[in-house]
Amino acid sequence: MTMVEAPAALQVYMIEDSPIFSRLLAAAVESAGGELVGHSDNAQQAIADLSRVDAALILVDVTLDSGSGFEVLEALQKSGKARTATKVVLTNHTAAEYGSLSYALGATYFYEKERDSWRVVELIGKMAAAK
């Protein structure tokens, strides 16, 4: 009898400084069948972690305890790391300039936390189901 391995779960890395929102996102990742492979509340730690972790989905807050999500996106873009990862900027800052900069730095999606969080949950579910 041959054993068939279950497909690997969707690997998700989260960059978020709000403990409450972090818990909500982590629960959404896990309930959708994804696996949270790392979390940071600051840019420097996220950049270091993402040089070692191969996440398929990276959730990025713009405003962090130290540094910014833009720094993380820029570092990923310059290093070529996470080139194939889906990068979702999820922020309270809805100015068009934030969205434009996010996309210029390689973001796949730009969402406002309060209004669009359901879109992130939906995306996690779709990506996890496709694994």
Domain annotation covers residue 7 = no
The CA distances from residue 86 to 6, 31, 65, 82, 114, in Å, are 22, 19, 23, 8, 21
Domain annotation covers residue 4 = no
Host domain of residue 94: 14-130
Domain annotation covers residue 1 = no
Q: Which two tokens stand for residue 11?
A: 């690997």
- How many beta carbons lie within 10 A of that of residue 34, not counting itself? 22
**pTM of the shown model:** 0.91
Mean pLDDT of 18-22: 93
The pLDDT value recorded for residue 62 is 96
Split into its structural domains, the chain has a count of 1
pLDDT per residue as tens digits for the range 25-58: 999 899 888 899 999 999 999 999 999 999 999 9
Domain annotation covers residue 121 = yes
The pLDDT value recorded for residue 110 is 96
Domain annotation covers residue 39 = yes
CATH number of domain containing 109: 3.40.50.2300
The pLDDT value recorded for residue 94 is 84
The pLDDT value recorded for residue 7 is 59
Q: Is the pLDDT of residue 5 over 70?
A: no
Domain annotation covers residue 60 = yes
Which pLDDT band, with edges at 50, 70 and 90, does 128 fall under? confident
pLDDT per residue as tens digits for the range 66-123: 999 999 999 999 998 888 999 999 999 889 999 999 999 999 999 999 899 889 889 9
Domain annotation covers residue 55 = yes
